[in-house]
Structure 1
Amino acid sequence: MSTPTRTPAHAAARPDTTVLYGIPNCDTVKKARAWLAAQGVAHQFHDFKKQGVPADRLPHWADAVGWEKLLNRQGTTWRKLDADTQAAVHDAGSAAEVMRAQPSVIKRPVVEWADGRITVDFNEADWNEAATARSKP
Structure 2
Amino acid sequence: MRLPAALRPAVLLCLAALGLAACASQAARTAPVEETPIYVLNLYGDENGRSDQRPPALVLSEFSTVSGMSWQSWGPGRAVGVGRLSGTWCLPRCQNHPYNATVTLSNVVPYRGDGYFTRYAVKAHLPPAERKTADLKGALPAPQDE
Greater strand share, 1 or 2? 2
Larger relative contact order, structure 1 or 2 (CA cutoff 8 Å, min sep 6): 1
Same fold (TM over 0.5): no
Greater helix share, 1 or 2? 1
TM-score, reference length from structure 2: 0.22
Greater radius of gyration (CA): 2
